[in-house]
Amino acid sequence: MSARVLAGPPVAAALLADAAARASRLPAQPNLVIVSVGDDPASLSYVRGKSRKAGEVGLRNTVHALAETTTQAELLTLIDTLNRDDDVNGILVQLPLPAQIAEAAVLHAIDPRKDVDGFHPLNVGELWAGRPALTPCTPAGIMFLLEHHGVPVAGARAVIVGRSHLVGRPLAALLLNADATVTVAHSRTRDLGSVTREADILVAAAGTPGLITPDMVKPGATVIDVGINRVLKPDGKGHLVGDVHPDVAGVAGALTPVPGGVGPMTVAQLLANTVRAAELQHAARADLEAAGEFVR
Ligand SMILES: Nc1nc2c(c(=O)[nH]1)N[C@@H](CN(C=O)c1ccc(C(=O)N[C@@H](CCC(=O)O)C(=O)O)cc1)CN2
């Protein structure tokens, strides 16, 4: 028997349709600013994809493509300008950044109300406290995908392989907030297979091609593959493969493909977060106006 395929694009389309409908009810089109630094081809391609999709759902957006040699001070100056601009609802800095720029300094500088990536410590703290927050896009997209496909989360044993700030850690908080019993495994976990075999929901986010093999999966489990690994196959061509070995399809109950699984959810969730940020900013302004406060 082969696992049910949890395809991303139709679910991403549903999320985008909802974001577009909510955006159309706002007094102004939400405005997203995307900042990239350097020439990494994959990053530039993700940025183009985000900008294109934003336009498709009716969001205003601007891309600042900065040179590889950009200094941290220059990037922080740009972020300060964007923070102060009331017409900007969302700010995203594409990762990774070149070595001369400290990622934490940049992510901490973004106004948490415009932090559509959900990486600012204030948003991270709210998420772990179980309160509403702007939430990192890949983990939030995975939760939407699970819900859309009717995968039960409450009471499920969830195992995440990978403890990154982009995926593993925030996804652990989201699954915990949704009443799953969560284990985070990583490169130092002993006997990884004995841990992963416990999982009703297994998330592979380690960045290691084919790490999860059929013997590591409980029969019938839902397996979410977050890996995006570019490898050279024997045919001499470059291919995109996940962290989950293809033979896992014979054991799992449901499986996300790579490509076409979690990746499209990341972009859709970014645009949903941008609309959410705009909604919250408009509501805060309306509250101030109702209280007779001066609003710029
Ligand atoms: N500031 C951020 N930087 C990065 C994030 C992020 O969420 N915020 N995530 C990743 C990259 N990423 C978005 O930025 C991203 C990765 C993959 C996809 C995607 O649609 N993948 C496709 C395959 C695309 C291909 O052929 O390369 C798929 O899986 O089907 C979208 C966005 C790191 N940086």
Structural domain of 100 = 26-112
pLDDT at residue 8 is higher than 70? yes
pLDDT digits (tens, 9 = 90+) for 170-198: 999 999 999 999 999 999 999 999 999 99
Q: Write the burial class of residue 229 (CB in 10 Å: 0-12 exposed, 13-18 middle, 19+ buried).
A: middle
pLDDT at residue 201 is higher than 90? yes
State the pLDDT at residue 237: 87
Q: Are residues 38 and 75 in the same domain?
A: yes
| Ligand 1 proximity of 256 Cβ (cutoff 6 Å) | no
The answer to whether position 16 is within a domain reads no
Q: Are residues 101 and 165 in the same domain?
A: no
| Ligand 1 proximity of 260 Cβ (cutoff 6 Å) | yes
Q: Are residues 143 and 257 in the same domain?
A: yes
Q: Are residues 146 and 219 in the same domain?
A: yes
- Mean pLDDT of the region 216-238: 93
Q: Are residues 91 and 142 in the same domain?
A: no
Alpha-carbon dihedral sign for residues 172, 35, 263, 116: positive
Which residue owns the Cα nearest ligand 1 atom 14?
46
Q: Which helix (H) or strand (E) holds 274?
A: helix 262-290
The answer to whether position 156 is within a domain reads yes
Q: Are residues 98 and 150 in the same domain?
A: no
pLDDT at residue 296 is higher than 80? no
The answer to whether position 151 is within a domain reads yes
| Residue 36 bridge partners (DSSP) | 65
- Mean pLDDT of the region 10-29: 97
d(CA 261, CA 19): 19
The answer to whether position 14 is within a domain reads no
The answer to whether position 19 is within a domain reads no
Q: Are residues 240 and 155 in the same domain?
A: yes
State the pLDDT at residue 295: 62
pLDDT digits (tens, 9 = 90+) for 117-127: 999 999 999 99
Using the CB atoms, write b or e for 117-148: b if 16+ within 10 Å: bbbbeebbebbeeeeebbbbbbbbbbbbbbeb
Residue 275 confidence class, pLDDT cut points 50, 70, 90: very high
* pLDDT over 90 percentage in the chain: 93
State the closest ligand 1 atom to the C-alpha of 264, by its place in the atom list counted from 1.
Answer: 20
Q: Are residues 61 and 98 in the same domain?
A: yes
Q: Are residues 216 and 153 in the same domain?
A: yes
State the pLDDT at residue 292: 86
State the pLDDT at residue 235: 84
The answer to whether position 143 is within a domain reads yes
Which residue owns the Cα nearest ligand 1 atom 18?
263
Question: Which of 250, 207, 242 is closest to 225 using CA atoms?
Answer: 242
Q: How many residues are given for the chain?
A: 296
Q: Which residues are catalytic?
A: 50, 94, 117
Q: Are residues 44 and 147 in the same domain?
A: no
Q: Are residues 42 and 141 in the same domain?
A: no
d(CA 266, CA 24): 22
Owner of token pair 């652990």 = 172
162 belongs to an annotated ligand binding site? yes
| Residue 204 bridge partners (DSSP) | 161, 225
Q: Are residues 142 and 99 in the same domain?
A: no
Q: DSSP assignment of 89-134, as one string?
A: -EEEE-SSPPTTS-HHHHHHHS-GGGBTT--SHHHHHHHHTT----
Q: Which helix (H) or strand (E) holds 195?
A: helix 192-196
- Mean pLDDT of the region 65-84: 98
The answer to whether position 296 is within a domain reads no
251 contacts: CB under 8 Å, gap ≥ 6? 3, 214, 217, 218, 219, 221
Q: At what angle do helices 262-290 and 41-56 cross, to 10 degrees?
A: 50
Read off the CATH number of the domain in which 79 is found.
3.40.50.10860
pLDDT digits (tens, 9 = 90+) for 88-110: 999 999 999 999 999 999 999 99
| Ligand 1 proximity of 240 Cβ (cutoff 6 Å) | yes
State the pLDDT at residue 294: 64
- What's the total number of domains in the chain? 2
| Ligand 1 proximity of 44 Cβ (cutoff 6 Å) | no
The answer to whether position 258 is within a domain reads yes
Domain finish residue from 71, 97, 112: 112
pLDDT digits (tens, 9 = 90+) for 127-167: 999 999 999 999 999 999 999 999 999 999 999 999 999 99
Spatial strand order in the sheet of 90-93: 60-66, 31-37, 90-93
State the pLDDT at residue 90: 98
Q: DSSP assignment of 208-225, as one string?
A: -TT-B-GGGS-TT-EEEE
Cis peptide before 170 (omega within 30 of 0): no
Q: Tokens in use for 128? A: 């772990």
Read off the CATH number of the domain in which 170 is found.
3.40.50.720
Domain finish residue from 58, 78, 112: 112
* pLDDT over 70 percentage in the chain: 99
Q: What is the bridge-based pairing of β-strands 229-232 and 238-241?
A: antiparallel
